[in-house]
């Protein structure tokens, strides 16, 4: 079997299993408890399949428990959707997660833009483009994906349902035009949007929350037959008996501009944290058909915490068990603070400071990027909350903080090639990776968290007595030393827990650099430079995500290239269980938008660690553009670090691999 883990505790598990075998016993004779220890140490789906083919008992064990153990061990931080109707099983989850991991590592991403067909709308007596806010969800029971965004005062949605037997997906576009409700561009633009689980009096299990510039916070129907219908309105005005009884007119702007929305789910129901300029309002989603909702808790930061109107609240995100809120602020010397709920009410706290940590990472005093706050779950199987928070800052750093520690941050990430590029929006995939985008054009950056990984796609490849190719650009990280133990033998020795040179170095941080994808070259500049304003994904197992750019959106899909080698010819070009093989539907107008495939270029940007001297001038690495220059003549194309379209093989590489 290929790819057993080399950590000490895993070797001990294997030794325990071997010790349990007597002279006349086979592996299948061991009790399930011991066999599951063995299965937990398999690092590739190919190995798991080989065990399942050994005999009937092992086949049943792998089917019933093995694939679940494989997913939870290899992808422990990736929360997966649970299907009540059995639309997918653990084997399919393992298949998709391993396929996606390989695509991420090899930078196999494709992009398509959606921009309005009509001319840009008028705003403030000049031509302007909307700044979209996005959210997406995936229903594992119906196999339907929903992506929603605010386009100025209008709410746009696309429904896409997977179908079996290779049939094209069912796609429905819907719009809730703001002008139909008396809303005007600019003053009534959508500033925040969130898809929420919603049951009770409103069937379908989901609804859309929208917060606007005019302060309106509403719950809209997400069902296609009633799309955009207002189900409930949230306002502090409904706290009074007069407003509830209807003896005075309902106000349309009872609160300031809604800057952000975040939803958490607990035993008491769904809680919405709405952040305005200076106030946090917590609402419960009504499940009894109520059309008006008053806040269950209100905290005015200007009066109760700062006694100042110059400090602005930009975003609030739920943390912990739904009893902590992380806050992004402007105008305060501490841009990141948090509040916790105690028996006596809300307690406002600041993050502790540790000068030694700040000196170690050499971070500079800067402002936070308010839309970037993202909570991080290190263990998806822990039903509790999390204390880990990722945030982006104007000095180009992304900081991971544990609210339980006395330090202001616990890890700092940065683009080693362009260290000053800040990221306006972040999107997290467990502790595997995160994606960022900012004001420097239509550009997305993919960072590895550098957390201990449970799965490496290279484990499924044959042994090789050479280093991974082509060598990556690494401005700060040094390559493994010649002759060191990290180079390994020519072939893996699993009984001794030794990996070959190829498998050892493929896991080394030096050969797993971060990457930046540049998309601006194929986007029309209709109103100045394009920027990334928001990011959203339907779930952690979705093979695609969405990028909100100035005046439109971009869909990114994991998709490996097809080349002329026999090894790659049989590769799946879309996720077999969660992907949409026909996701490219270009040319025709859809929902007022026209789709267009985008060209892209990739630059590898180092290991991502913020280090002293990271602001020094660095020679730019070569930009990788799609092409098929070499794969058809390289026997070991499947061992290349990157997708076939991005292969750069020098003449010396050709001679070595021919």
Tens of pLDDT, residues 556-594: 999 998 654 434 334 458 898 999 988 987 656 678 898
Split at pLDDT 50, 70, 90, the class of 17 is: low
Other Cβ atoms less than 10 A from the Cβ of 510: the count is 18
Tens of pLDDT, residues 182-204: 888 888 999 999 999 886 544 55
Task: Judge whether 445 and 435 are in contact, CB under 8 Å.
Answer: yes
Torsion angle, CA of 358/359/364/365, rounded to 10 degrees?
A: 50
512 exposure class (CB count in 10 Å sphere: 0-12, 13-18, 19+): buried
What's the pLDDT at 140? 87
Residue position matching structure tokens 């706050």: 373
Task: Judge whether 276 and 256 are in contact, CB under 8 Å.
Answer: yes
Residue 249 predicted with pLDDT over 80: no
What's the pLDDT at 478? 85
Q: Of the given ranges (115-129, 220-234, 279-293, 306-320), which has the lowest mean pLDDT?
A: 115-129
CATH architecture of 130-331: 7 Propeller (2.130)
Span 256-274, mean pLDDT?
89
What's the pLDDT at 469? 86
Residues 6+ apart with CB under 8 A from 564: 628, 631, 632
Split at pLDDT 50, 70, 90, the class of 5 is: very low
Query: Rounded to whole angstroms, how far apart are CA atoms 270 and 653?
Result: 57
What's the pLDDT at 307? 66
Which residues share a beta bridge with 144?
A: 139, 161
Residue 3 predicted with pLDDT over 60: no
What's the pLDDT at 586? 66
Which has more confidence, 276 or 165? 276
Q: Supply angle C-alpha 190, 194, 198, rounded to 5.
A: 130
What's the pLDDT at 576? 87
Residue 333 predicted with pLDDT over 90: no
What's the pLDDT at 411? 87
Torsion angle, CA of 114/119/125/126, rounded to 10 degrees?
A: 70
Span 533-542, mean pLDDT?
95
What's the pLDDT at 376? 93
Span 157-185, mean pLDDT?
89
Residue 442 predicted with pLDDT over 70: yes
- Within the chain, how many helices (H) and strands (E) appear? 12, 34
Q: Of the given ranges (24-28, 398-402, 617-621), which has the lowest mean pLDDT?
A: 24-28
Residue 245 predicted with pLDDT over 50: no
Which residues share a beta bridge with 605?
A: none
Query: Rounded to whole angstroms, how far apart are CA atoms 475 and 488?
Result: 25
Which has more confidence, 503 or 305? 503
Which has more confidence, 508 or 476? 508
Q: Of the given ranges (206-220, 306-320, 497-511, 609-623), which has the lowest mean pLDDT?
A: 609-623
Residues 6+ apart with CB under 8 A from 259: 191, 192, 211, 275, 276, 277, 313, 314, 315, 370
Span 623-642, mean pLDDT?
72
Torsion angle, CA of 533/538/540/546, rounded to 10 degrees?
A: -30
State both tokens at 304: 């109760």
Residues 6+ apart with CB under 8 A from 510: 472, 474, 477, 478, 479, 480, 607
Residue 35 predicted with pLDDT over 80: yes
pLDDT averaged over every residue in the chain: 82
What's the pLDDT at 389? 93
584 in helix, strand or coil?
Answer: coil
Split at pLDDT 50, 70, 90, the class of 159 is: very high
Query: Rounded to whole angstroms, how far apart are CA atoms 575 and 24?
Result: 44
What's the pLDDT at 92? 93
Span 168-194, mean pLDDT?
91
Residue 241 predicted with pLDDT over 60: no
Residue 122 predicted with pLDDT over 50: no
Q: Of the given ranges (6-10, 151-155, 469-473, 582-586), which has the lowest mean pLDDT?
A: 6-10
State both tokens at 548: 């909100």
Residue 284 — φ and ψ, nearest 5°? -100, 135
Q: Of the given ranges (6-20, 224-238, 313-327, 374-388), which has the lowest mean pLDDT?
A: 6-20
Which has more confidence, 128 or 521? 521
Query: Rounded to whole angstroms, how far apart are CA atoms 457 and 98?
Result: 7
Domain residue extents for the chain: 130-331
What's the pLDDT at 649? 55
What's the pLDDT at 543? 96
Split at pLDDT 50, 70, 90, the class of 127 is: very low
Query: Rounded to whole angstroms, how far apart are CA atoms 168 and 157?
Result: 19
Span 434-454, mean pLDDT?
92
Provide the terminal-to-terminal Cα distance of the chain, rounded to the nearest Å: 28
With a pLDDT cut of 90, the percent of the chain lying above it is: 41
Span 596-607, mean pLDDT?
92
527 in helix, strand or coil?
Answer: coil
DSSP for residue 117 = S
Span 496-508, mean pLDDT?
89
Split at pLDDT 50, 70, 90, the class of 613 is: low
Residue 439 predicted with pLDDT over 50: yes
Given strand 324-330, what is the order of strands in its sheet?
A: 312-319, 324-330, 336-342, 345-350
Split at pLDDT 50, 70, 90, the class of 331 is: confident
Query: Rounded to whole angstroms, how far apart are CA atoms 40 and 451?
Result: 19
Q: Of the given ranges (316-320, 498-502, 586-590), which has the lowest mean pLDDT?
A: 586-590
Q: Of the given ranges (159-168, 456-465, 536-545), which has the lowest mean pLDDT?
A: 159-168
Q: Of the given ranges (81-90, 268-277, 524-533), which has the lowest mean pLDDT?
A: 524-533
Span 121-132, mean pLDDT?
59
549 in helix, strand or coil?
Answer: strand
Residue 149 — φ and ψ, nearest 5°? -145, 155
Split at pLDDT 50, 70, 90, the class of 343 is: confident
Residues 6+ apart with CB under 8 A from 483: none
Q: Supply angle C-alpha 155, 156, 160, rounded to 5.
A: 145
Residue 547 predicted with pLDDT over 90: yes
Burial pattern 20-37, b for ≥16 Cβ within 10 A else e, equals beeeeeebeebeeebbbb
Q: Of the given ranges (385-389, 490-494, 518-522, 631-635), which has the lowest mean pLDDT?
A: 631-635
What's the pLDDT at 252? 40
Residue 8 predicted with pLDDT over 60: no
Neighbouring C-alpha atoms within 13 Å toward the C-beta of 562? 6
Task: With both helix axes pointing from N to C terminus, report the angle between 32-39 and 67-74 in degrees, rounded to the nearest 10.
Answer: 40
């Amino acid at each position: 079997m290929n790819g057993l883990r080399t950590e000490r505790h895993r070797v001990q598990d294997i030794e325990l299993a071997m010790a349990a075998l007597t002279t006349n016993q086979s592996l299948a004779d061991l009790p399930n408890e011991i066999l599951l220890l063995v299965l937990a140490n398999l690092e590739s789906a190919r190995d798991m399949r080989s065990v399942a083919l050994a005999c009937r008992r092992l086949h049943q064990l792998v089917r019933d428990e093995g694939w679940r153990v494989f997913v939870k061990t290899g992808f422990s931080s990736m929360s997966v959707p649970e299907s009540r109707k059995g639309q997918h099983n653990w084997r399919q989850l393992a298949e998709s997660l391993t396929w996606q991991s390989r695509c991420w590592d090899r930078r196999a991403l494709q992009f398509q833009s959606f921009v309005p067909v009509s001319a840009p709308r008028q705003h403030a007596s000049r031509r302007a483009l909307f700044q979209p806010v996005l959210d997406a969800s995936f229903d594992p029971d119906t196999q339907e994906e929903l992506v929603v965004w605010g386009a100025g005062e209008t709410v746009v949605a696309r429904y896409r349902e997977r179908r079996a037997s290779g049939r094209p997906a069912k796609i429905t576009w819907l719009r809730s035009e703001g002008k139909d409700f008396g809303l005007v561009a600019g003053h009534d633009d959508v500033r925040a949007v969130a898809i929420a689980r919603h049951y009770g009096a409103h069937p379908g299990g989901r609804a859309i929350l929208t917060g606007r510039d005019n302060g309106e916070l509403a719950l809209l129907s997400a069902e296609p037959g009633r799309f955009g219908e207002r189900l409930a309105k949230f306002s502090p005005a409904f706290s009074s008996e007069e407003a509830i009884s209807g003896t005075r007119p309902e106000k349309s702007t009872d609160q300031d501009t809604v800057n952000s929305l975040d939803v958490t789910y607990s035993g008491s129901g769904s809680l919405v944290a709405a952040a305005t300029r200076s106030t946090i309002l917590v609402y419960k989603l009504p499940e009894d058909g109520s059309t008006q909702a008053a806040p269950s808790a209100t905290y005015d930061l200007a009066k109760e915490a700062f006694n100042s109107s110059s400090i602005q609240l930009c975003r609030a995100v739920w943390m912990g068990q739904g009893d902590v809120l992380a806050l992004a602020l402007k105008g305060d010397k501490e841009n990141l603070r948090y509040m916790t709920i105690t028996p006596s009410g809300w307690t406002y706290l600041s993050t502790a400071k540790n000068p030694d940590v700040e000196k170690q990472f050499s971070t500079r005093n800067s402002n936070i990027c308010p839309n970037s706050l993202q909570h991080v779950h290190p263990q998806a199987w822990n039903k509790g909350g999390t204390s880990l928070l990722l945030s982006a800052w104007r000095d180009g750093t992304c900081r991971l903080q544990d609210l339980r520690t006395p330090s202001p941050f616990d890890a700092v990430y940065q683009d080693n090639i362009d260290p000053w590029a800040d990221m306006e929006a972040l999107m997290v995939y467990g502790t595997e990776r995160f994606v960022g985008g900012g004001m420097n054009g239509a550009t997305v950056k993919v960072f590895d968290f550098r957390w201990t990984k449970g799965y490496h796609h290279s484990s499924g490849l044959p042994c090789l007595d050479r280093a991974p190719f082509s060598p990556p650009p690494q401005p700060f990280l040094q390559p493994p030393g010649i002759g060191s133990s990290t180079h390994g033998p020519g072939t893996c020795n699993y009984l001794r827990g030794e990996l070959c040179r190829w498998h050892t170095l493929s896991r080394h941080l030096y050969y797993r650099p971060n990457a930046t994808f540049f998309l601006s070259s194929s986007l029309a500049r209709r109103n100045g430079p394009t920027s990334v304003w928001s990011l959203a994904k339907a779930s952690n197992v979705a093979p695609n995500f969405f990028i909100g750019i100035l005046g439109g959106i971009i869909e990114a899909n994991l998709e490996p290239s097809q080349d002329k080698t026999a090894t790659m010819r049989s590769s799946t070009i879309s996720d077999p269980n969660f992907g949409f093989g026909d996701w490219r539907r270009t040319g025709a107008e859809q929902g007022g938008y026209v789709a267009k495939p985008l060209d892209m270029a990739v630059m590898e940007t180092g290991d991502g660690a913020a280090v002293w001297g990271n602001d020094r001038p660095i020679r730019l690495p070569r930009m990788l553009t799609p092409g098929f220059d070499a794969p058809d003549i390289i026997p070991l194309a499947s061992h290349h670090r990157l997708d076939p379209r991005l292969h750069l093989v020098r003449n010396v590489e050709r001679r070595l691999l021919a």
